[in-house]
């Protein structure tokens, strides 16, 4: 168990703690939840840094890192459904994309086709994290200038999520066609 994998496991351990603070009603619960979310989000960059810099890339890390990312984002979006800050149908589409791409990558790997993480996938992750942070802020400070930044971010995230999912499917079918 190397340091990169330990950091990834820490991110997974932080998720239920994050959800507890998201959904309990105590003083500063949302501030604490946001702090945990930011720390967990930062660990994604940190584990990747260690894995690449010190050549610590493992099969376990390749499995756990994207799983931890998906679990963290899923926990946040599901909590925001519970809090009435995002519509369930939007979260369903986001999660459907995650399941579909994960399944597609599994099928591709079984056929010895490698579908690397795309730039669109990375943009999708960044937009999801920004949207979650904006949801935490409850649209502050944008309410001061009467801009519904939370709604804007939600729909941008939805569009980028759909486009990045389509990008993975296009890459898969091109790679599969070239293999025949």
Copy the structure tokens of residue 101.
Answer: 């791409």
Q: Are 175 and 108 in contact (CB under 8 A)?
A: yes
Q: Pick the range with the lowest mean pLDDT from 4-13, 113-122, 155-164, 165-174.
A: 113-122
pLDDT level of residue 118 (50, 70, 90 thresholds): confident
DSSP label at 2?
-
pTM: 0.89
Domain locations in the chain as residue ranges: 1-84, 87-180
Distance of alpha carbon 113 from alpha carbon 160, whole angstroms: 24
């Amino acid at each position: 168990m190397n340091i990169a994998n330990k950091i990834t496991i820490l991110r997974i351990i932080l998720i239920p703690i994050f959800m507890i603070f998201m959904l309990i009603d105590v003083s500063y619960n949302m501030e604490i939840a946001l702090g945990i979310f930011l720390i967990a989000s930062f660990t994604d960059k940190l584990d990747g840094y260690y894995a690449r810099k010190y050549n610590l890339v493992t099969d376990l890390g390749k499995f756990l890192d994207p799983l931890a990312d998906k679990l963290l984002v899923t926990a946040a979006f599901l909590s925001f459904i519970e809090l009435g800050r995002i519509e369930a149908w939007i979260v369903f589409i986001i999660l459907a994309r995650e399941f579909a791409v994960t399944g597609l990558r599994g099928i591709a790997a079984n056929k010895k086709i490698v579908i690397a993480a795309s730039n669109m996938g990375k943009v999708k992750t960044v937009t999801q994290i920004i949207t979650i942070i904006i949801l935490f802020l409850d649209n502050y400070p944008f309410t001061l200038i009467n801009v519904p930044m939370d709604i804007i971010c939600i729909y941008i995230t939805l569009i980028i999520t759909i486009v990045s999912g389509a990008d993975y499917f296009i890459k898969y079918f091109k790679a599969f066609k070239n293999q025949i």
